[in-house]
Structure 1
Amino acid sequence: MKYVLGIVWGTYLVLFLGCSGGKYLELTKEVESSYLENDYTKTLERSEQIIGDVESRGKMASGEVYFFAGASAFELEEYDKSLNYLEKARGQDYYGEEMYYYLARNYRQIDNLSKEIGSLESYLGKYPQGKYIGEMRTRLFQTCLESENFELADELWAGMDSLSRDNVANLEVYLNINRIQEKNELCNTLGKRVLDKDANNESGLMWFGETYFWSAENSYLSQMKAYKQNRTHKQYAILLETFKQVNSDFRKSRDYFLKLHSLYPKPDYASYLANIYTRLEDEEKAAYYKKRAE
């Protein structure tokens, strides 16, 4: 249920400005009741009647009225209008739980990450038991990947309940955060959990595809270099034995990238496949994927 936000204070403002008290009181009651009933079209219409009347007199409406207009405009996907009204509400020193909630969502719509994070952090700080706390904490966690705030990500992850930590979207974010930090063992665990829940997850598939590829590629290059520097029967035997694991890892990587390229046909995935088939000495397929990578 929506919070009753006390817009009655706006009545005194408009009375002071000379607007009809009865007309204003009727409109404000309609604004509040329609908002509580999720009738956002009516809420916005009535709010804008009040705002238009007050602003035509060179004054500002109450923060509550601007908030109702902004929240309703957001629900109607009129994001520019919504943000304009919400910022006017803030300019009137209006703050509240839903105010931060809608501000954060608006800033996300316009891709203003710093202001979105500010609104999310304000909400978490002021309303730790708020009705939107789960959603806001999750979104703040997701922004940690974009802002590369890995310390905060670890803190938020540790504070998540088991259900949130089992959510595939959150697992994927944490996988990518730890991939950047090269925490490989943790990424193996997270990647497996991601794919257990979503076998087609791009981040999970890419993690294992790249892991097996670079394991094979680095071993291949290392042993080839060692053999070139020491062309003995013993070193050649080591090379052949190493190639068994190298080829096994390349095949595992191939399977992940074949699936990735099928689901998400990106040039990067084709490039990996071209390199893999080159190492596996399949020239026809290597040429095919090299062309797909262009």
Structure 2
Amino acid sequence: MKYLLTVSFVLFALAGSVLAQEKTAAELKNEGNDALRNKDYKAALELYEKALENWSAEEPVDEAMVYNMATCARRIENYDKAIKYYGMSEQQGFRGDISSYYIAYSLKKQDNEDEMEKVLVSAIEEYSSSKYLGHMKKMLVTYYLKKGSEPFNEASQILASAQNADPSQYDEINARANEAFAKAKPWFEKALEYDPDNESAKATLEEINKRLSE
């Protein structure tokens, strides 16, 4: 009797497994939508990915689902998948502007700011009328200010060292400071290209030009 019960349980489990495997891509997608509405981003992404695996090669992949996959990946901080699916979304021509922005955002989270810059520069040019343009420019300008502040602060520290230096070292100290100022200058110029009214960039660039002209 125990053997029969065991066999029955195994058959029941197998039947359930078969039924689960018979779910269509559309059903899996809808379950993913439900999970997304409930903010269960991990489950939603898993369901969407199963739907994608079962998607008919004869039908175009649902654009909104791909975008949702990217959003779920970003929400659970899986930035590799976020970049992958936002890239797919952009290629499909679905919300390309915000997809590009979030690709840049994900690259920033991965400390890949060089690639982030390339994505943003390209997106700003391609989606010049996007309502997200301001967000793209802000991210890019913040990056430029950060990059420029590094050699600018270095130059300031070099100049500060002159207070305790021998007068015979002043020329050499000024030369090293000016070299650092010269490295900082292009970054602040780039920042002003995308944000001409940025007071911080304008003031810093003015200071740099003054130092370099002396």
Q: Within 5 Å, give how 1:25-36 maps onto structure 2.
A: none
Partner of 1:265: none
Relative distance call for 1:206 and 1:128 in structure 2 (3 A) is farther
Q: How far apart in 2 are the matches of 1:247 and 1:161?
A: 34
* Letter paired with 2:144: Y
Give yes or no for the alignment of 1:115 onto 2:40: no
Deviations 1:46-104 (A, max 9, x none): xxxxxxxxxxxxxxxxxxxxxxxxxxxxxxxxxxxxxxxxxxxxxx9794333223232
1:99 and 2:31 matched? no
Whether the 8 Å CA contact 2:100–2:123 is kept in 1: the answer is: yes
Picking from 98, 105, 112, the partner of 1:169 is 98
| CA 1:251–1:156: 2 relative to 1, 3 Å | closer
1 CA distance for matches of 2:188 and 2:147?
Answer: 9
Structure number, greater radius of gyration = 1
Q: CA deviation at 1:221?
A: 0.8
CA deviation string 1:119-140 (max 9, x = no partner): 2122112225355444323321
Q: RCO greater where, 1 or 2, for CA within 8 Å and sep 6 or more?
A: 2
Aligned-partner Cα distance in 1 for 2:73–2:107: 11
Q: CA–CA distance in 2 between the matches of 1:163 and 1:133?
A: 10
Long gaps (5+) in structure 1:
1-91, 260-272, 283-294
Shift of 1:277: 5.6
Q: Structure 1 residue 212: deviation in Å?
A: 1.6
Q: Could you tell me which residue of structure 2 aligns to residue 216 of structure 1?
A: 148
Instruction: Check 1:207–1:128 CA distance in 2 against 1; reply closer, same or farther (3 A cut).
Output: farther
Number of residue pairs matched? 178
In 1, Cα distance between the equivalents of 2:110 and 2:179? 32
Give the direction of change, closer, same or farther, for the CA distance of 1:168–1:161 in structure 2 (3 Å limit): closer
Q: Which among 70, 79, 83 is matched to residue 150 of structure 1?
A: 79
Structural mapping, 1:236-255, within 5 Å: 236-244=174-182, 246-254=184-192
Check 1:222–1:169 CA distance in 2 against 1; reply closer, same or farther (3 A cut).
same
Structure-2-length-normalised TM-score: 0.64
Any conservation in 2 of the 1:123–1:136 contact (CA below 8 Å)? no
Deviation at 1:176, TM superposition (A): 1.2
Give the 3 Å change call, closer, same or farther, for CA 221–169 of structure 1 in structure 2: same
Change over 3 Å in CA distance of 1:258–1:132 after alignment to 2: same
Question: What is the RMSD computed on CA atoms of the aligned residues?
Answer: 3.6
- Are residues 146 and 257 of structure 1, via their aligned partners in 2, closer, same or farther at CA, if it must alter by over 3 Å? farther
Q: Confirm or deny: 8 A CA contact 2:141 2:195 kept in the other structure.
A: yes
Say yes or no: does 1:234 pair with 2:159: no
**CA pair 143-158 structure 1, distance change in 2 beyond 3 A:** same
CA positional deviation for 1:181: 1.1
Q: Could you list the runs of 5+ residues in structure 2 that have no partner in the other structure?
A: 1-18, 208-214
1:145 offset after TM fit, Å? 2.0
Shift of 1:160: 7.2
CA deviation vs aligned residue, 1:150-171 (integer Å, no higher than 9, x gap): 3334554777784459932322
1:194 positional shift: 0.9
CA distance in 2, matches of 1:132, 1:163: 9
2:152–2:181 contact (8 Å) kept in structure 1: yes
Calculate percent identity across the aligned residue pairs: 9
The equivalences for 1:27-66 within 5 A come to none
